[in-house]
Copies of this chain bind each other. A is one copy, B any other.
């Protein structure tokens, strides 16, 4: 029985985890695969550095050629990170007919479609489940499920840092800046948290999920993205009193062949399964035509969960090699990209505004909405922070994004409306 040889790019915490798992689970892997896996080469910066895992000195190299152009190597396992240089290396590996397993979401979000096409042209696989949600095998589950079901909607909490921050802001009533500082101290947030808190990291993951689920080539630019920096304690407190929890939710949905992908702060009913996903945990909620609602919950990151996902992907790649179906795993885009227009995007909205506390204010505001055919499920009015002002909080019924935009535009023109304080999507209700 053929032994499968791998080249491991990177020996940080994830790479070390991969080496440990392959060593400790040899028997189980042989049993499940009918093949042994052997590490042939490991790409590192410093071949003399002390390692906290036993690696054969013979394996170590700082020359990528010894991996990507090595005729003995079948699969490249990329756990070193980086975008442009790594992309060139992976392209070279694919041209040399190496399969790839990667945990690198930045690489896949930027160059994924090109790499997947190149892989297919060379009958190679790229597996990247570890890049999306660490310990949750979501790409595999979607991909397996897709063979016998059609996905209509995905809602995901796919960024641990922002979920941690929102959890602390909600449960401990702390301000955004204070929680961010704490998260940075605990290592849950990076020194430059922009990519997380602005929603970019989540948008990258939603791109990968949407491409797979809808078989369209959706790019990062197609994802409407807004982050959590402007969410205030007042927003959270109003949301809570109306029975909602605010989460940063990635949404990908399809209706009549048209797709919408977004990442934005979203109010969910407190008894929605995603509302209880706390701290740094991730979860992905999937609505399939046949199966209905399913949810997958787990650690979104961490070196051992990620290493476990990498090894699972590696095993799938090896199965495909032996089945002779390499390059078929992820269905390449089959449909022309069709994005929903604003008038086709339907959801509910939470809208909060500061108004003059004078006779007729409420009527002027409701006239605007009724002109746009917007109706409401919930309305709160209460004294504003300044004298002779009030605050109005409303939750609409299902309306189009265009109706929202038009209504907000008209409201801003009313003299009795001092300011639109905030507005958020409301989802997950009947």
> Which residue numbers of A lie inside 8 Å of B, CB to CB?
17, 21, 25, 28-29, 31-34, 135-137, 141, 143-149, 271-273, 275-278, 281, 283, 288, 290-299, 302, 304-305, 307-308, 311-312, 315, 319, 322-325, 328-329, 331
Nearest CB to that of A295 among chain B residues?
A: B297
Alpha-carbon gap, A28 to B325, bound state (A): 13
**Once the chains bind, are B292 and A295 in contact (CB under 8 Å)?**
no
**Once the chains bind, are B278 and A276 in contact (CB under 8 Å)?**
no
19 CB contacts below 8 A, A to B, read A17-B290, A25-B148, A32-B328, A34-B323, A34-B328, A135-B294, A136-B294, A144-B312, A145-B312, A147-B312, A275-B276, A276-B276, A290-B308, A292-B304, A294-B298, A295-B298, A296-B296, A319-B323, A322-B323
B-chain residues with CB within 8 Å of residue A21 when the two chains form the complex: 148, 290
**Once the chains bind, are B31 and A331 in contact (CB under 8 Å)?**
yes
**Once the chains bind, are B298 and A291 in contact (CB under 8 Å)?**
yes
Beyond A33-B325, A298-B294, A324-B34, whether A311 also contacts B273 by CB under 8 A is no
B-chain residues with CB within 8 Å of residue A149 when the two chains form the complex: 308
Beyond A28-B146, A148-B29, A323-B322, whether A299 also contacts B293 by CB under 8 A is yes
Nearest-neighbour CB distance to chain B for A253, whole angstroms, equals 19
Alpha-carbon gap, A136 to B21, bound state (A): 26
Nearest-neighbour CB distance to chain B for A425, whole angstroms, equals 21
Nearest CB to that of A31 among chain B residues?
A: B328
B-chain residues with CB within 8 Å of residue A308 when the two chains form the complex: 145, 148-149, 288, 290-291
B-chain residues with CB within 8 Å of residue A328 when the two chains form the complex: 31-32, 34
B-chain residues with CB within 8 Å of residue A297 when the two chains form the complex: 273, 293-297
Alpha-carbon gap, A29 to B328, bound state (A): 11
B-chain residues with CB within 8 Å of residue A137 when the two chains form the complex: 141, 144-145
Alpha-carbon gap, A60 to B25, bound state (A): 46
**Once the chains bind, are B271 and A273 in contact (CB under 8 Å)?**
no
Alpha-carbon gap, A293 to B278, bound state (A): 12
Alpha-carbon gap, A347 to B25, bound state (A): 31
Nearest-neighbour CB distance to chain B for A313, whole angstroms, equals 10
Beyond A31-B328, A276-B276, A331-B31, whether A147 also contacts B311 by CB under 8 A is yes
